[in-house]
Amino acid sequence: MNLTFNKCDIHQSTDDCTAVFVYQDRSTFSRQVKAIQLKLRTTIPAVDTGDFKGKDGQSTVLYVKRSASLRRYILIGLGEQQRLSAERIRRAAAIAARKARSLHASSLSLMVPVPSQRFGEAVAALAEGAYLSLYRFDKYLTKEKDSPSGVETLTICEPRGANARQGKRIVDRTKILCEATVLARDLGNAPGNEIYPETLADAARASSRRGAYDASVLDEHEIKNLGMGGVLGVSQGSAHPPRFIILEYGNPGRRPVVLVGKGVTFDSGGISIKPSAGMAEMKMDMSGAAAVIGTFEAVSRLKLPVHIIGLIPAVENMPSGSSIRPGDILRHYNGKTSEVDNTDAEGRLILADALAYAEQYKPTAVIDLATLTGAVVVALGHHATGMMGNDRELMRQLRQAGEATYERLWELPLFDEYEKLVKSDIADVKNVGGRWAGAITGAMFLKKFVGSYKWAHLDIAGTAILEEPGSYTTRGASGVGVRLLTEFLRRWK
Ligand code: BES
Ligand code: MN
Ligand code: ZN
């Protein structure tokens, strides 16, 4: 996808479609409409009938004869100017982009909404909403020869070109972020027969070459020598051996932020097997890993002045004669033991090793992302990631990055009283906590393996895997975490 910034007014646009944004407020609306009519020398019937009033999310297509050709203009409502937000702009841009696609346009320009107080934010939101809304996971669809290939060129336009340099810089940056988000989506949507631990490691290596960051991969033998009993245990029932992926970017002289991603490339549940309905979704159980790889690609290509380490335990959770059993006891990287009560609570078993491994880096913060529990989806649905942790300031800053990117976080408590739910009589901790507070008991298990660092756990089970398309997401993998973490790292001191 081409995404650029350009100086251009609506009557000069030569693209297949041009999106123009208007506010609902009476005087602004009529002034904007008047300007459009004047420049394009046309009436706007949908405005004259009152069908189009500029309400948030409203749209209408306008066909205009210009010299020899007919041009399409998509008018999009932004609602009241007072209530404008980056998210509203993303969604409005997404409506325009999907409309353009449905009209078989191959190029679309989007006019920066005026007036908009924060130019940079508006440009980024336009680019993001349009780009991400056009995502499709179609590499396995064998195409018909004459089917249109979709919108290929997006141009963010500003008539006066006053902020051209800033606009270009922001659009270039946004393109990198969107490409990294798409990478995370593609990894999530890829089926389990394509992405398994070895190929997830290959994908991380390929990304590290694109971003010029470091990737090293530990094999089963090395994982065993390190004593990562969780990674080893969960993977032992699979024909695919585990991998432990270590990423590094930035100045090694600075204490790093460590990003940990759950990399279960397929979660059948193991011996505690899942019901078959919906099991296919569990190809996306490596979405935490995908978010970490995507973030590394974005941060490295953006050359952010940070030092980050990525840790990805990658396994496939399968039932077989060699699988771990309920009742088994595993010994983790830091020597602590866990009782496996349910082999479907496998994510925490592999994250335990990674969180313990993180301590050696003396990190300023450790953030793990995991599709850890169905319980967090029951609690928050698909609109917020569950956040738990041990440091208020870290969680506050993550929450703020969540507001800015609209990858929103909501905190759940880790009160001491929850600890006894994961108590085991025969090991240091038990991997399930019973019926209640499932998202929290998942985190209480992880907490046992957290070192002396500041830590936040993001349970993305609901936000990484979507059952329905959103304004700029599709059914399936959302790529959540990439924009969030990149924004967080941009701000973190
Ligand atoms: N990967 C699943 C969690 C999940 C469920 C992610 C639905 C996305 C959508 C995880 O490994 C799991 O199976 N968790 C169990 C834990 C339970 C056995 C304590 C769960 O949530 O049921
Ligand atoms: Mn599971
Ligand atoms: Zn899982």
User: Tell me, what CATH number does 68's domain have?
Assistant: 3.40.220.10
**Distance between alpha carbon 86 and the CA centroid of its chain, in Å?**
17
pTM of the model: 0.98
Q: In the listed set 107, 128, 162, which residue is the last one of a domain according to the structure?
A: 162
Closest residue by Cα to atom 16, ligand 1, is: 345
Judgement on whether residues 123 and 264 belong to the same structural domain of the protein: no
Among residues of the chain, what percentage have pLDDT more than 70? 99
Judgement on whether residues 183 and 75 belong to the same structural domain of the protein: no
Q: Is the CB of 285 under 6 A from ligand 1?
A: yes
Average pLDDT of the chain to the nearest whole number: 97
Distance of alpha carbon 387 from alpha carbon 317, whole angstroms: 25
Q: Is residue 411 part of a domain?
A: yes
Distance of alpha carbon 371 from alpha carbon 336, whole angstroms: 23
Closest residue by Cα to atom 18, ligand 1, is: 345
From ligand 1's centre to the CA of 434, what distance in Å? 13
From ligand 3's centre to the CA of 317, what distance in Å? 8
**Distance between alpha carbon 237 and the CA centroid of its chain, in Å?**
30
- Residue 31, pLDDT score: 96
Amino acid present at 259? L
User: Do 205 and 217 contact (CB within 8 A), yes or no?
Assistant: yes
Q: In this predicted model, what pLDDT tens digit does every residue of 129-173 receive, in sequence order?
A: 999 999 999 999 997 756 678 999 999 999 988 799 999 999 999
The tally of domains found in the chain comes to: 2
pLDDT at 330 over 90: yes
- Residue 145, pLDDT score: 59
Q: Is residue 172 part of a domain?
A: no
Judgement on whether residues 409 and 455 belong to the same structural domain of the protein: yes
Judgement on whether residues 362 and 444 belong to the same structural domain of the protein: yes
Which structural domain, as residue segments, surrounds residue 466? 179-491
Phi then psi dihedrals of residue 157, to 5 deg = -115, 145
Judgement on whether residues 56 and 192 belong to the same structural domain of the protein: no
Our CA angle for 458, 461, 466, nearest 5°, is 130
User: Tell me, what CATH number does 239's domain have?
Assistant: 3.40.630.10
Q: Is the CB of 341 under 6 A from ligand 1?
A: no
Q: Is residue 174 part of a domain?
A: no
Q: Is the CB of 346 under 6 A from ligand 1?
A: yes
User: Do 257 and 365 contact (CB within 8 A), yes or no?
Assistant: yes
Question: Running DSSP on this structure, what letter comes out for residue 242?
Answer: P
Q: Is the CB of 279 under 6 A from ligand 1?
A: no
Q: Is the CB of 459 under 6 A from ligand 1?
A: no
Buried b (16+ CB within 10 A) or exposed e, 134-146: bbebeeeeeeeee
- Residue 160, pLDDT score: 86
Q: Is the CB of 286 under 6 A from ligand 1?
A: no
Nearest ligand to the CA atom of 281: 1
From ligand 1's centre to the CA of 373, what distance in Å? 4
Q: In this predicted model, what pLDDT tens digit does every residue of 276-302 receive, in sequence order?
A: 999 999 999 999 999 999 999 999 999
Q: Is residue 446 part of a domain?
A: yes
Residues near ion ligand 2 (Cβ under 5 Å): 267, 344, 346
Ligand 1 pocket test target in 373, 459, 480 with most atoms within 8 Å of CB: 373
- Indicate the pLDDT class of residue 115, thresholds 50, 70 and 90: confident
pLDDT at 309 over 70: yes
- Residue 32, pLDDT score: 96
**pLDDT (mean) for 320-334:** 98
Distance of alpha carbon 330 from alpha carbon 337, whole angstroms: 5
Judgement on whether residues 60 and 209 belong to the same structural domain of the protein: no
Judgement on whether residues 265 and 387 belong to the same structural domain of the protein: yes
